[in-house]
């Protein structure tokens, strides 16, 4: 967002906001402790509106739930923007001073009338209007989102459409107002911080930025490639075309987690070399030529991670790792040695200090300070800096300090790539359950009394027309494959919408169904919108 | 607002209907398939329907079934565990399926126990009836008291089933009881003929500031037990600018030996309505609540009818009596919990939470019902307001003493010739009061003054004037005005252990000193039994009394040892008595 | 938000003048002056219910003792935290609890019992809470014979943290219990197994199953235990975990109450999702890491 790769606000701010817009996020289950902060806010009087195709566990806490059609977020956001402008609720002073492109934006959203948005999103016009007014009138408002926004073929545009709303109302760059993308996985933020992005060096410095690159070259004594690399989806494309022949996978399980997973497995199998570094023999590791057994980062080794509020925190070894495993950094260092580089066998702290010398936003975060302060929020440029609770405060400075004003983005509604058809008339979307996590590699290990397994949640209306009973096993097919799964019939789910979790790939290979259409800007696949068909199994089939 | 997950138990059609009837605007409103309005605010707004909902379920089925509870809780968006926690707090709600037939609650507290409740219970049981041994039912003037809880029909209290007329007597000055004999309680016209609604008219003319000044000048103090100056209370609520504010009448009356508020509600309901309306318009409170104990069926019924008439006559609602003021009134029925008479516990009960007292400060005048500034008064206190407005401060002070002006209602019961409700000027002695009531039935052993939370009075102390100041200086209390008379035929040990059991049963259980202290006190008294209390037991009782009095959250625990202490002081446990 | 300028208030605690901001409780004021007051139902991350009354102190001019944990300081108050009267009250509260509950696994209460000379032998056959231990799943057990009804678990399950409300106080008086609706077994109730109730329980009435098993097997060895702070490996919120280990095995997970991310509360994954670093999955040392 306007040039920084993290959420703008601290968790604590949502406790003090008076309006919370939860968009495409079931934080109650996927980010439960963040949701505690939201609940504190609601308890002290904040209002919350939830935009989500399903009335999720989180949406049940909301003052209003808007049950949007899957993949129509931009239409809704643009209509909210149009309504805010039409009702003269936008913050003109902020817009004039701190943003650019407002006139074009206002003209651009003209066509997104409440009526049009209502017809596209399925949400009544009144509901959209009320949301627009509540958000604009709040003195402190937060927009929170997760994968419901990003796991679309146009996920980046979705995010931009929400940023527009913040710019329109000045709900950014101040304590209590902000934009909060919740990170789905531990240390996704940290990965980005450390430069595990195709176009970034550590500290979100651009690989194309000559002076930044020079600093790294000087420190490491090698020239760095100024070309951005490939993001995950492009890597798979490159595997498909044969230009990418070897892959080194650390702590990921794409053979289970990728959309259209049968295609992914084939690509992985066809590689000339697949190296997998993991704590388990995952499905991906099973396909590997070399497996490098690693220690468990958070319980068997030392280091740092970064959270969704940009807080860098220490992880520590609590138990001894099993024999034969090594810390990730040790393995990487030794691989480097074997490849002929002379990387010293540094401690995690020494490696961290090296990072601090190269990434200005981490410079002030010594291990000692991280420990004393329960972590620090970047940017934290020097040892006296307290860390930064919220970003973009400069937008509110009288003098913008030469920074470019924050631009409005012109984005349009496209809808999911995969259209519903007579053959595949039902929209499938996916998400997480409270007690489970991703492909279940870690979460399967403990005996959760509330685990129900993956089920296909469908509307009672669809159940009636398909003549299905609660718990009945059905066949679900998409253009890419099919699986068998039990149905869970919901009385408050919209007709034509199906939902499932994807935590038990060994039992039900749900990503056989999902769509791998991806966002050219982020490389994220459209997990959230596939077209499917549900077929009743004949009794004979059922017992095969 | 919570994750709501209910078990599979479902309601039957009667239960469903009962709940649907009650909740017309549920907290989850489905505007369309894609738009649902809900949230914490709406849940908060309807939670007070929990208690009436539980009453409905109890009444339609004779118990609160898991399916019924689930349905009510889900309709109101209340977690099932919390709804259960509330239901299980009250004696009048059964949570296991009972046998068929009405449930007879029969009072076993000292007065009724000495006057035939034991044999009545045996009789009922031998006839195959279900009986619940109940704490005082507030009908002590006609023992043994009972209350019949029905399924699918109106519950019945003694007023509706007995032919014994209410007994009330005024001495020289008949004030609070002035309309009792001549009034047709549920006819507004009758009330007006007797001067009703004149006070409201004056109050509207005078304006709130002047009304409160008059209350302050009158020296009126609360009759619910704590004797707090009423004018100060009203003033403090009037001073709050925040809205909404509330007026509450505390008619939970469950102090053993007390039945005056029931008499007021049964015989002069409009007086309470008028006085509460005056409180509302004088202090800027928009709504009043009357909390009546659940066993007072007739009183609640008459009050409801009176309220309906007041609404039709524009004496409630908007533009009251031609003024610009508005005031609404709603009744809530308790469900068998003495503690709900404690004002903050009463708030929790109305709000749909467990009737556990809150800690004070903050006081109700700052943070009361629904967290808003609230006046709570006893019905008798409210009736005094009418006297002050109708007859003036000077007239009001012409009875009683300078520090206890006016008159007081006394509830006489037990071994006395004419039990009943007596009005007397403050300053009357116990001796005079007893003789007004025809004298002791037998030889006087002791009087329990002020209810279970009161003190024993010895025959030597009968000349203490009954005023707040004199009782205080003699380490006594007027409490609720209960006067329970015990002749030498009565075993004080039994009375004491019954009182101790009362507190044990009625403790809300929130704080350790009272939850466990009341049990230990009862246990020690039972162990002493007929033998003389030894030094160790007396010391233990003394320590138990200290911690209950010093460290309990509310008045229940703080006074749970007072009768026992006074009995020890008077030596009532010394020698072996009958 | 309008920030009210805090006004200073001066009070005397055991003869020493302490000056604090308006709104400070007596407990906080005392702690700031180095005076310890025992507590049981109070916790820094929960709303005070002031139910146990162990923290009562004497405030001159007040008829009753006042609960230090929740009473705010008033200008000029004179407080005595260890007077004879206070000590007697605490002794009685401890005797009451000790005659009612099994307090053997609460080291803190055991210390208080000694300090205040609580003597439970004065009571003959006192009624007790004799509830059988509830073992309904593999994550934690509920031994309500140890429950002092401090409300902490109910608050943590309710609107002080988790907003699940699977448990509530039910019943009244001495029969009050922490309960689900109709005593429904936890797995069928609304419980989401965040374990936040276990995290706040002061008496070990609520106990992680692993700890319970160790104690049952007489393998509970406090000298061989340690605690390590780290960060949860699941979602990206970054909750601080305290991993409690005995002999290289995790037996419970908590979170520090004073931490801004968690305020001491966790979700089911952070609290219980560590099993995969334990035997049989990863330990004893076998590089066979079949998942
Ligand atoms: C355990 C307990 C029970 C009480 N019961 C009643 C009651 O039934 N009626 C009542 O008016 N006050 C009762 N009170 C006193 C109320 O808390 C409150 O002081 C009173 O209603 C105030 O009204 P007043 O100022 O008109 O007396 C009770 C107090 C306690 C501690
Ligand atoms: S003193 Fe008794 S009734 Fe009052 S709060 Fe404590 S336990 Fe409840
Ligand atoms: S179970 Fe523990 S936390 Fe809950 S009330 Fe009992 S003692 Fe307190
Ligand atoms: S710690 Fe203060 S009452 Fe329990």
Note the ipTM here.
Answer: 0.95
Query: Pick from B290, B285, B281: which is nearest to B244 by CA?
Result: B285
In a domain, C290, yes or no: no
Residues C105 and C152 in one domain: no
Q: Are strands C78-80 and C8-13 parallel, antiparallel or unpaired?
A: parallel
Q: In this structure, which residue's CA is closest to atom 23 in ligand 1? A: B377
Q: Which residues in chain B are classed under CATH 1.20.1440.230?
A: 492-569
Q: Give the model confidence (pLDDT) of A166-223 as tens digits.
A: 999 999 999 999 999 887 778 888 888 898 889 999 999 999 999 999 999 998 888 9
| Residue C286: pLDDT band with limits 50, 70, 90 | very low
CATH number for the domain that contains residue C69: 3.10.20.740
Q: Is residue A475 helix, strand or coil?
A: strand
Q: Does B85 touch chain C if contact means CB atoms closer than 8 Å? A: yes
Token pair of A251 as six digits? 């702590």
Q: How far apart are the first and last CA of chain A?
A: 52
Does C115 share its domain with C145?
no
Residue pair A149/A158 in contact (Cβ under 8 Å)? The answer is yes
Closest alpha carbon within chain B to A492: B33
Distance separating alpha carbons of residues C50 and A47, to the nearest angstrom: 30
Instruction: Work out the average pLDDT over B266-273.
Output: 97
The two structure tokens encoding residue A473: 């096993």
Do C113 and C183 sit in the same domain of this protein? Answer: no
Going from the Cα of A81 to the center of ligand 3, the distance in angstroms, rounded, reads 50
Report how far residue C193's alpha carbon sits from residue C164's, in angstroms, rounded to the nearest whole number.
Answer: 10
What average pLDDT does the structure give for chain A?
89
Length of chain B: 578
3-state secondary structure of A288: coil
Among A37, A448, A506, A507, the residue to mutate for chain C (most C Cβ within 10 A): A448
pLDDT at A451: 78
Cα→Cα distances A411→A75, A88, A161, A340, Å? 9, 21, 7, 48
Query: What's the DSSP call for residue B61?
Result: H
On whether both C152 and C35 belong to a single domain, the answer is: no
Instruction: Tell me which chain A residues have a C-beta less than 8 angstroms from the C-beta of C228.
Output: 316-318
C87 near A CB under 8 A: no
In a domain, C287, yes or no: no
Per DSSP, the three-state class of B41 is: helix
What is the torsion angle, in degrees rounded to the nearest 10, for the CA atoms of residue C109, residue C114, residue C115 and residue C120?
Answer: 80
Inspect the interface and report whether the beta carbons of C228 and A317 lie closer than 8 Å.
yes
Question: Considering its fold, how many domains does chain C have in total?
Answer: 2
- Together in a domain, C269 and C247: yes
pTM as predicted? 0.94
| Separation of alpha carbons B563 and B452, rounded Å | 7
User: What band does A400 get if pLDDT is binned at 50, 70 and 90?
Assistant: confident
CA distance A240 to A260: 14
For C46, the domain range is 7-127
Pick the residue with more confidence: A442 or C130?
C130
What does the alpha-carbon distance between residue B88 and residue B50 come to, in Å, rounded to a whole number?
A: 13
Q: What are the distances in angstroms from CA B426 to CA A482, B418, B479, C84?
A: 89, 20, 13, 40
Spatial strand order in the sheet of B29-32: A178-181, A141-145, A19-23, A47-51, A64-66, B35-37, B29-32
Contact residues, chain B, for A55 at CB < 8 Å: 36
Q: What local confidence, expressed as pLDDT, does residue B1 receive?
A: 59
**pLDDT > 70: percent of chain A:** 94
Q: Are residues C143 and C157 in the same domain?
A: yes
Residue C74 lies in a domain: yes
Q: Is the pLDDT of residue C116 over 80?
A: yes
Ligand 3 contact via C186 beta carbon (within 6 Å) = no
Q: What is the pLDDT of residues B419-465, one digit of tens each?
A: 999 999 999 999 999 999 999 999 999 999 999 999 999 999 999 99
Per-residue pLDDT at C19: 95
Domain presence at residue C188: yes
Q: Answer yes or no: is C285 within a domain.
A: no
Say yes or no: C62 and C105 in one domain.
yes
- Whether the ω angle into residue A308 lies within 30 degrees of 0, i.e. cis, is no
- Domain B188-397 matching CATH 3.40.50.11540: the answer reads yes
**To which residue do tokens 């307001």 refer?**
B385
Residue among C231, C258, C259 at smallest CA distance from C243: C231
Query: Nearest 5°: phi and psi at B278?
Result: -60, -45
Phi and psi torsions of C278, nearest 5°: -110, 170
Contact A301, A328 (CB under 8 A): yes
CATH 3.10.20.600 assigned to domain B407-487? The reply is yes
Same domain for C156 and C111, yes or no, is no
Quick one: average pLDDT of B495-502? 96
- For the cut 70, the answer to whether the pLDDT of residue B124 exceeds it is yes
Domain termination residue (choose one: C70, C92, C127): C127
Between CA B572 and CA B408 the distance in angstroms is 29
Quick: pLDDT tens for B392-417: 999 999 999 999 999 999 999 999 99
Tell me: pLDDT of C209 over 80: yes
Contact: B39, A47; criterion CB under 8 Å: yes
Distance of CA B348 from the midpoint of ligand 2 (Å): 14
Q: For position C290, what pLDDT does the model report?
A: 40
Identify the DSSP state of C196.
H
Q: CB-based burial of residue A438 (10 Å sphere; 0-12 exposed, 13-18 middle, 19+ buried)?
A: buried
- Kindly report, residue by residue over A39-72, the tens digit of the pLDDT: 999 999 999 999 999 999 999 999 999 999 999 9
- Number of CB atoms found within 10 A of residue A469's CB: 9
Confidence of residue C282 (pLDDT cuts 50, 70, 90): low
**Residue whose C-alpha is closest to residue B288's, from B297, B298, B278:** B278
| C108, C71: one domain | yes
pLDDT value of position A341: 85
Mean pLDDT calculated for residue range A457-480: 91
Predicted local confidence at residue C285, as pLDDT: 36
A129-143, B76-90, B521-535: least confidently modelled range = B521-535
CATH of the domain at C155: 2.20.25.90
Best mutation target among A36, A61, A70 (most B Cβ atoms within 10 Å) is A61
Last residue of a domain, one of C127, C144, C168: C127
With a cut of 70, say whether residue B2 has pLDDT above it.
no
**Which residue, C109, C127, C145, sits at the end of a domain?**
C127
Q: Indicate where chain B has its CATH 3.10.20.600 domain(s).
A: 407-487
pLDDT confidence of residue B521: 97
Are C122 and C178 in the same domain? no
Ligand nearest to the CA of B341: 1
Residue C26: C-alpha distances to residues A81, A173, C80, C92 (Å): 51, 38, 11, 22
- pLDDT for res B349: 98
Q: Which residue has the higher pLDDT, A434 or B465?
A: B465
Domains and CATH numbers, chain A: 11-176 (3.40.228.10), 188-377 (3.40.50.740), 426-536 (2.40.40.20)
- The two most distant CA atoms of chain A are separated, in Å, by 74
Cβ pair A476, A495 in contact under 8 A: no
What is the reported pLDDT for A523?
Answer: 66
Residue C257 near chain A (CB below 8 Å): no
Q: What 3-state class would DSSP assign to B268? A: coil
- Clarify whether residues C180 and C220 are in a common domain: yes
Please report the pLDDT score of residue B477 as a whole number. Answer: 94
Which residues of C are less than 8 Å from B513 in CB distance? Answer: 53, 89, 92-93, 96
Query: To which residue do tokens 């509901």 refer?
Result: A127
Instruction: Looking at the structure, tell me whether residues C147 and C123 fall in a common domain.
Output: no
Q: Is the CB of B554 under 6 A from ligand 1?
A: yes
Is residue A126 scored above 70 in pLDDT?
yes
At residue A11 the predicted structure's pLDDT band, cuts being 50, 70 and 90, is very high
Sheet containing C249-254: order of strands: C225-231, C240-246, C249-254
Say what the pLDDT of residue A3 is: 45
Tokens standing for residue A532:
């499917």
pLDDT band at B52 (very low <50, low <70, confident <90, very high): very high
Question: Confidence class of residue A529 from pLDDT cuts 50, 70 and 90?
Answer: confident
Q: Which of C231, C245, C282 is facing A315, going by the closest CB pair? A: C231
Chains in contact with C via at least 3 Cβ–Cβ pairs below 8 Å: A, B
- Residue-level pLDDT at B484: 97
Residue A455's CB: how many other CB atoms inside 10 A? 17
Give the pLDDT confidence score for residue B275 in this predicted structure.
Answer: 98
If pLDDT is split at 50, 70 and 90, which confidence band does A434 have?
confident
B348: confidence class by pLDDT, cuts 50, 70, 90: very high
Band of residue A518 on the pLDDT scale cut at 50, 70, 90: low
DSSP state of B359: P
Highest mean pLDDT among A454-458, C202-206, C282-286: C202-206
H or E stretch including A331?
A: helix A328-338
Comparing CB atoms, the residue among C139, C238, C285 nearest residue A311 is C238
Per-residue pLDDT at C53 exceeds 90: yes
Instruction: Please determine, for residue C6, whether its predicted confidence score (pLDDT) is greater than 70.
Output: no
Contact between C254 and C264 under an 8 Å Cβ cutoff? The reply is yes
Round to whole Å and give the CA distance between A241 and A256: 22
A258 burial type by CB count under 10 A (0-12 exposed, 13-18 middle, 19+ buried):
buried
CB of residue B27 inside a 6 A radius of ligand 1: no
- CATH 1.20.1640.10, domain B492-569, yes or no: no
CB-count exposure of residue A426 (10 Å: 0-12, 13-18, 19+) = buried
């Amino acid at each position: 967002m306007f040039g920084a790769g993290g959420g703008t606000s601290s968790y604590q701010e949502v406790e003090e906001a008076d309006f919370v817009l939860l968009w495409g996020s079931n934080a109650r289950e996927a980010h439960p402790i963040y949701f505690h902060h939201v609940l504190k806010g609601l308890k002290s009087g904040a209002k919350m509106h939830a935009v989500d195709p399903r009335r999720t566990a989180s949406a049940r806490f909301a003052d209003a739930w808007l049950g949007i059609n899957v993949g129509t977020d931009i239409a809704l956001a643009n209509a909210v923007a149009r309504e805010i402008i039409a009702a003269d609720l936008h913050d003109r002073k902020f817009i004039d001073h701190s943003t650019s492109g407002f006139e074009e934006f206002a003209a651009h959203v003209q066509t997104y009338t409440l009526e049009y948005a209502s017809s596209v999103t399925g949400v009544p016009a009144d509901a959209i209007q009320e949301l627009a007014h509540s958000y604009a009138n709040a003195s402190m408002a937060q927009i929170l989102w997760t994968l419901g926004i990003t796991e679309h073929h146009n996920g980046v545009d979705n995010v931009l459409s929400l940023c527009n709303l913040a710019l329109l109302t000045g709900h950014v760059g101040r304590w209590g107002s902000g934009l909060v993308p919740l990170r789905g996985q531990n240390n996704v933020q940290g990965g980005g911080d450390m430069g595990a992005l195709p176009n970034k060096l550590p500290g979100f410095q651009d690989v194309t930025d000559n002076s930044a690159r020079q600093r790294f070259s000087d420190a490491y004594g090698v020239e760095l490639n100024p070309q951005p690399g490939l993001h995950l989806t492009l890597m798979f494309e490159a595997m498909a075309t044969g230009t990418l022949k070897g892959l080194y996978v650390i702590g990921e399980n794409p053979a289970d987690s990728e959309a259209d997973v049968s295609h992914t497995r084939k690509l992985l199998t066809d590689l000339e070399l697949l190296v997998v570094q993991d704590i388990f023999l995952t499905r991906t590791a099973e396909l590997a030529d070399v497996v490098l057994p690693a220690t468990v980062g958070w319980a068997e080794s030392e280091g740092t991670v970064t959270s969704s509020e940009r807080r860098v925190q220490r992880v520590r070894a609590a138990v001894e790792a099993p024999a034969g495993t090594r810390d990730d950094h040790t393995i990487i260092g030794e691989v480097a040695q074997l490849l002929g580089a002379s990387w010293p066998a540094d401690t995690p702290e020494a490696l961290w200090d090296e990072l601090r010398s190269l990434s200005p936003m981490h410079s002030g975060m010594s291990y000692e300070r991280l420990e004393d302060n329960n972590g620090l929020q970047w940017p934290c440029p020097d040892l006296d800096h307290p860390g930064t609770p919220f970003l973009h405060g400069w937008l509110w400075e009288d003098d913008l300090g030469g920074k470019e004003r924050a631009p409005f983005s012109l984005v349009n509604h496209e809808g999911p790539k995969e259209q519903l058809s007579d053959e595949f008339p039902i929209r499938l979307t996916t998400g997480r359950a409270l007690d489970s996590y991703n492909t279940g590699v870690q979460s399967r290990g403990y005996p959760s009394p509330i685990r129900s397994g993956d089920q296909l949640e469908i509307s009672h209306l669809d159940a009636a027309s398909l003549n299905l009973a609660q718990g009945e096993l059905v066949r679900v097919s998409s253009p890419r494959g099919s699986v068998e799964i039990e149905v869970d019939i919901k009385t408050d789910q919209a007709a034509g919408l199906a939902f499932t979790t994807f935590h038990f790939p060994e039992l039900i290979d749900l990503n056989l169904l999902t769509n791998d259409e991806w966002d050219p800007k982020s490389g994220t696949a459209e997990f959230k919108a596939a077209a499917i068909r549900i077929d009743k199994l004949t009794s004979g089939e059922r017992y095969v | 607002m919570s994750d709501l997950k209910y078990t599979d138990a479902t309601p039957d059609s009667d239960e469903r209907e009962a709940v649907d009837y009650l909740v017309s605007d549920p907290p989850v409103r489905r505007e369309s398939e894609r738009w649902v309005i809900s949230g914490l605010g709406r849940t908060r707004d309807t939670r007070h329907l929990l208690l009436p909902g539980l009453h409905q379920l109890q009444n339609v089925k004779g118990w609160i079934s898991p399916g019924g509870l689930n349905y009510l809780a889900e309709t109101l968006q209340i977690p099932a565990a919390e709804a259960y926690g509330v239901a299980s707090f009250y004696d009048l709600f059964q949570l296991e399926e009972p046998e068929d037939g009405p449930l007879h609650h029969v009072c076993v507290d000292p007065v009724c126990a000495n006057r035939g409740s034991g044999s009545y219970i045996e009789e009922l049981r031998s006839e195959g009836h279900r009986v619940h041994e109940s704490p005082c039912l507030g009908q002590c003037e006609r023992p043994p008291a009972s209350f019949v809880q029905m399924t699918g029909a109106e519950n019945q209290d003694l007023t509706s089933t007995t032919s014994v007329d209410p007994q009330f007597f005024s001495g020289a000055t008949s004030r609070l009881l002035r309309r009792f004999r001549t009034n047709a309680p549920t006819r507004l016209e009758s009330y007006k003929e007797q001067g009703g609604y004149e006070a409201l008219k004056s109050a509207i003319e005078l304006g709130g500031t002047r009304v409160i000044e008059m209350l302050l000048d009158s020296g009126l103090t609360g009759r619910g037990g704590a004797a707090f100056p009423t004018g100060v209370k009203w003033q403090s609520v009037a001073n709050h600018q925040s809205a909404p504010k509330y007026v509450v009448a505390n008619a939970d009356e469950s102090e053993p030996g007390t039945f005056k508020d029931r008499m007021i509600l049964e015989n002069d309901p409009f007086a309470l309505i008028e006085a509460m309306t005056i409180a509302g318009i004088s202090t800027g409170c928009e709504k009043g609540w009357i909390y009546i104990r659940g066993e007072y069926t007739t009183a609640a019924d008459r009050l409801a009818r009176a309220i309906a008439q007041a609404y039709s006559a524009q004496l409630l609602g908007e533009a009251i009596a031609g003024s610009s003021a508005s005031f609404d009134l709603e009744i809530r029925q308790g469900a068998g919990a003495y503690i709900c008479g404690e004002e903050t516990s009463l708030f929790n009960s109305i709000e749909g939470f467990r009737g556990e007292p809150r800690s004070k400060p903050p006081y109700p005048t700052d943070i009361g019902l629904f967290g808003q500034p609230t006046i709570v008064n006893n019905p008798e206190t409210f009736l005094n307001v009418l006297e002050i407005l109708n007859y003036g401060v000077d007239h009001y002070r012409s009875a009683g003493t300078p520090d206890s002006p006016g008159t007081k209602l006394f509830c006489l019961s037990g071994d006395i010739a004419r039990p009943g409700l007596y009005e007397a000027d403050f300053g009357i002695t116990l001796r005079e009061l007893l003789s007004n009531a025809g004298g002791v039935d037998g030889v006087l052993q002791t009087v329990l003054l002020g209810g279970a939370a009161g003190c024993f009075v010895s025959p030597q102390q009968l000349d203490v004037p009954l005023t707040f100041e004199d009782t205080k200086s003699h380490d006594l209390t007027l409490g609720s005005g209960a006067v329970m008379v015990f002749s030498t035929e009565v075993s004080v040990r039994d009375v004491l252990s019954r009182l101790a059991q009362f507190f044990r049963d009625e403790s809300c259980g929130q704080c350790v000193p009272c939850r466990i202290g009341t049990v230990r006190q009862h246990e020690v008294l039972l162990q002493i039994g007929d033998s003389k209390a030894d030094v160790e037991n007396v010391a233990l009782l003394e320590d138990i009394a200290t911690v209950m009095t010093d460290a309990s959250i509310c008045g229940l625990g703080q006074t749970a040892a007072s009768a026992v202490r006074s009995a020890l002081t008077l030596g009532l446990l010394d020698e072996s008595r009958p | 938000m309008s920030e009210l300028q805090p006004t200073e208030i001066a009070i005397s605690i055991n003869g020493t003048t302490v000056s604090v901001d308006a709104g400070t409780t007596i407990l906080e004021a005392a702690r700031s002056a180095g005076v310890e007051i025992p507590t049981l139902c109070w916790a820094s991350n929960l709303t005070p219910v002031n139910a146990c009354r162990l923290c009562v102190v004497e405030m001159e001019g007040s008829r009753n003792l006042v609960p230090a944990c929740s009473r705010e300081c008033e200008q000029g108050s004179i407080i005595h935290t260890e007077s004879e009267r206070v000590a007697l009250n605490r002794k009685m509260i401890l005797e009451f609890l000790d005659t009612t509950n099994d307090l053997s696994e609460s080291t803190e209460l055991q210390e208080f019992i000694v300090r205040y000379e609580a003597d439970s032998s004065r009571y003959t056959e006192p009624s007790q809470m004799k509830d059988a231990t509830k073992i309904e799943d593999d994550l934690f057990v509920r031994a309500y014979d140890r429950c002092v009804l401090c409300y902490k678990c109910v608050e943590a399950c309710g609107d002080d943290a988790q907003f699940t409300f699977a448990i509530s106080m039910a019943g009244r008086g001495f029969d009050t219990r922490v309960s689900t609706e109709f005593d429904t077994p936890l797995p069928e109730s609304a419980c989401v197994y965040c374990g936040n109730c276990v995290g706040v329980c002061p008496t070990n009435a609520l106990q992680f199953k692993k700890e319970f098993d160790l104690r049952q097997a007489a393998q509970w060895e406090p000298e061989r235990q340690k605690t390590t702070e780290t960060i949860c490996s699941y979602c990206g919120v970054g909750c601080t975990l305290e991993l409690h280990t005995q002999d290289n095995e995790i037996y419970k997970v908590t979170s520090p109450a004073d931490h801004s991310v968690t305020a001491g509360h966790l979700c089911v994954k952070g609290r219980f999702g560590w099993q995969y670093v334990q035997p049989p999955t990863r330990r004893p040392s076998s590089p066979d890491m079949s998942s």
